[in-house]
Amino acid sequence: MSVLVDACDALESLLGGDARRRVVDMLAVDASFARALDRLKVFMRRHAYPGDGGEVPMARWVARLDRDTAREGFRVMQSWDHVQQRFSRDDVPVMLTDYYDYLREGQDGGPTSFAILIDFHLLHLLALIAMRAWDDGQPDAILDRVEGLLELLQGPQGSGHRFMDSAGMLLILAVSQYHPLDIAYDRLIDRIRGLDARHRIPFAQVSGGALGAHLRWGFSQMYRGDAERMREDNVGDYPWLLFSVATLMDAFASADPSAPTRREIGADLLNALSSDPGAFVGPPLKVFEPYRNEYERFRRQFVDARPELRALFDDLRPERDRFSPLSFSFNFPHNAIVAGTTVALLNEEPCAVPFDDLLLGGIDADSEDDPRVRQARALMRYAGARPERLEGRGNRLILYDAVLARESHDAVLTHLFENADSATPEER
């Protein structure tokens, strides 16, 4: 039996029954809340929880998958320390438990906090499995199983906190912290290109949304509108961005014109293009040269669909009183996911809005009551609530800003529809 199958079986045994609830009940009757958190960290560090038939040990396969992933340049379980220029000694779930312990300032929490922290730990183990999906030569089958386990994780036996909705988002979680080895991203995206459409297209949707939010934040907050500096500083992101844009353009071009999914894909294409619209006009950027065929295919299909896309993009102009993913931006997706989990811990209230929903889709007719608006604003408040959460120059690391969204939207229209160099060489 393969390590991946063993890993999935172990998680299924833990997620499918009431084992997590029993762990929460056990922690809730501990002598003190602080002691219960310490006990929970022991479970996390050992990657082992009490289960229906005794302890469910996971440390062996976690160590194997973590080691194999680290050899390829990714550290799924650890966080990059930008000050020390190294990865953390503790795993991210343990670090979040420590941070929550610090933030509560001696106030006791409730059982919901234990449940959310357990689910956050197991979420990272699922992300680790997703990263190794290619090991057995059947990545689509493994990703199908991972998505089933994700549903179990977020089902009625868990905390009720909705982290994310797809295997693609798990992959984004796994790689969205800073990793110094750029070639690791190139290797992974080459693997993702080989997935079936049922996984490749959803990945492109969340990847385009995550890169859009990441680079829009950098463009406005870090690079002060200097696209060249942004490109030089984020070289590893651009093959991913091209893959996402080209895959979404392929899907849009091949979709039934009357299908609702065509509009959804078009909206996600706008989101991806908003990251750096100037990168998708004229000759390919140097970083796109190894993927020239992919870039040129995108350009041909985009020109063919230009009138339809212009009408759709006009219709998707962000409005102050309606949710738009263009309004949402952050420095790194992982930090925003951690922020959402921390907000839920502090409020003792699981969030029903998966992170995917903040990255996808266009404008709906919903008003300010849209839960996505409330969640995005809660994340922005969290990002500005304490000095240690601010970027070095005092910027919030998470924003929800309709003004910046309209600027990004208008930049897409200017670069891709109105400038003379938006035409293909053949058109000129």
251/389 same-domain check: yes
Q: What is the CA radius of gyration of the chain?
A: 22
Is residue 286 in a domain? yes
Choosing from 175, 205, 225, the residue where a domain stops is 175
For 238-252, how does the pLDDT look when each residue is reduced to its tens digit (9 = 90+)? 999 999 999 999 999
Residue 81 host element (H or E): strand 80-81
Residue 426 has pLDDT above 60, yes or no: no
- What percentage of the chain exceeds 70 in pLDDT? 95
State the pLDDT at residue 83: 67
168/314 same-domain check: no
Domain count of the fold of the chain: 2
State the pLDDT at residue 63: 96
Choosing from 147, 175, 203, the residue where a domain stops is 175
Between 114-123, 146-155, 279-288, 359-368, the lowest mean confidence (pLDDT) is in 359-368
Under DSSP, is residue 163 helix (H, G, I), strand (E, B) or coil? coil
Mean predicted confidence (pLDDT) in 358-384:
86
Between 38-42, 79-83, 208-212, 364-368, the lowest mean confidence (pLDDT) is in 364-368
Is residue 186 in a domain? no
State the pLDDT at residue 13: 92
219/167 same-domain check: no
Residue 79 pLDDT grade (very low, low, confident, very high; cuts 50, 70, 90) = confident
Closest CA to 337 of 140, 76, 13: 76
State the pLDDT at residue 82: 63
170/210 same-domain check: no
For 273-295, how does the pLDDT look when each residue is reduced to its tens digit (9 = 90+)? 999 999 999 999 999 999 999 99
Is residue 210 in a domain? yes
98/154 same-domain check: yes
State the pLDDT at residue 179: 73
Is residue 290 in a domain? yes
Is residue 145 in a domain? yes
Choosing from 143, 175, 207, the residue where a domain stops is 175
Cβ atoms of 171 and 131 closer than 8 Å: yes
State the pLDDT at residue 20: 96
Mean predicted confidence (pLDDT) in 388-408:
93
Residue 123 has pLDDT above 50, yes or no: yes
Cβ atoms of 74 and 131 closer than 8 Å: yes
289/388 same-domain check: yes
State the pLDDT at residue 116: 99
Is residue 315 in a domain? yes
Mean predicted confidence (pLDDT) in 85-92:
81
For 197-235, how does the pLDDT look when each residue is reduced to its tens digit (9 = 90+)? 999 999 999 999 999 999 999 999 999 999 999 999 999
State the pLDDT at residue 323: 93
222/133 same-domain check: no
Cβ atoms of 150 and 164 closer than 8 Å: yes
87/221 same-domain check: no
Q: How many CB atoms lie within 10 A of CB 105?
A: 6
Residue 428 has pLDDT above 50, yes or no: no
319: left (phi over 0), alpha (psi -120 to 50) or beta: beta
Amino acid at 428: R
Residue 373 has pLDDT above 80, yes or no: yes
State which of 169-183, 342-356, 361-375 shows the largest mean pLDDT: 342-356
Cβ neighbourhood burial of 289 (10 Å; 0-12, 13-18, 19+): exposed
Give CA separation, 428 vs 282, 306, 308, in Å. 10, 16, 21
285 DSSP 8-state letter? P
Report if pTM > 0.85: yes
367/238 same-domain check: yes
State the pLDDT at residue 318: 94
State the pLDDT at residue 427: 42
For 32-62, how does the pLDDT look when each residue is reduced to its tens digit (9 = 90+)? 999 999 999 999 999 999 877 778 889 999 9
Domain limits for position 404? 195-427
Is residue 190 in a domain? no
Closest CA to 409 of 210, 205, 212: 212
Q: What is the mean pLDDT of the chain?
A: 93
How far apart are the C-alpha atoms of 368 and 320, rounded to whole Å? Answer: 9
How far apart are the C-alpha atoms of 350 and 59, rounded to whole Å? Answer: 28
164/34 same-domain check: yes
Is residue 183 in a domain? no
91/239 same-domain check: no
86/231 same-domain check: no
State the pLDDT at residue 26: 94
Q: In residues, how long is the chain?
A: 428
Closest CA to 8 of 124, 126, 123, 140: 126
